[in-house]
Amino acid sequence: MVAQAMVDLQVRSILGRRKLEQKIQSIKNHYIICGYGRIGRIICRELKANNIPIIVIDSNGTAMQGLEEEGIPHIVGDATSEDILSEAHIERANGLVSVVASDADNVFITMSARGLNPDLFILARAEQEHTEKKLIRAGADKVGMPYLIGGQKMAHILAKPAVSDFLELTVHNRKIGLEMGEVPVSEKSTLNGVTLIDSGIRQKMDVIIVAIKKSEGEMSFNPSSQTKIEAGDILIALGKSEDITKLATILSGKG
């Protein structure tokens, strides 16, 4: 019985790993998470909650045992290696997040990733403020400093508690069904070229447009009712999850 149990366990492990390998081979438009420490775990949890495909890379296989149970593709290896990044299919990934413990490794991973995929969006972690410039020069699009972000958030809780509560509800609390989302506008959308007041977004879908990011990068906050919705825009919307999904369908031209 003991031998049978051990064999069954090994078979399940082999089949599970084979299934994950098949996922890795077929994955595309995904995000590569380099580092599965405390920050990496939070990032994976949030991306998974938003149904965004991910592959995790970490040299500590023991720390990633839970990923296999959750069916999340992962690779045990050194993320500074170009071979490992290629194994994660970086050439067809949407982005990479480098949150390993060492600033030097984050810089090296960023340089390697940028060389392998010039169009990749790269978000990198920095522990020291002077590392931010190095990461930008290495090819990072954005740099996050956890201690700075954490300190600023705590200060906002003290200085602007009501604002902090609002952001916590809309961004982090999924129980109330309210969220802030970003919705791109397609040329095929029936709302392309229509003003906000004529679009019916607020009246018919009960969604508030907080801001519009234009295709050239300019951000328009609290846009007026006469602002035109144009192809290439990204609407920053606040509303219930199902209403934002409905809006996304219309703006994509599929509804």
How do the pLDDT tens digits run along the chain, 255 residues long? 778 767 666 655 555 566 777 788 889 999 999 999 999 999 999 899 888 999 999 998 887 777 877 778 999 999 999 999 999 999 999 999 999 999 999 999 999 999 999 999 999 999 998 999 999 999 999 999 998 888 988 998 899 899 888 777 776 666 666 788 899 999 999 999 999 999 999 988 899 999 999 988 889 999 999 999 999 999 999 998 889 989 999 999 886
HSE-CB at 57 with a 13 A cutoff on CA atoms is: 26
DSSP reduced 3-state for 179: strand
Sign of CA dihedral 118, 120, 123, 127: negative
What pTM does this model have? 0.77
**Helical H runs in 50-125?**
65-70, 82-87, 103-116
Nearest to 58 by CA among 29, 122, 18, 101: 101
pLDDT of residue 174: 63
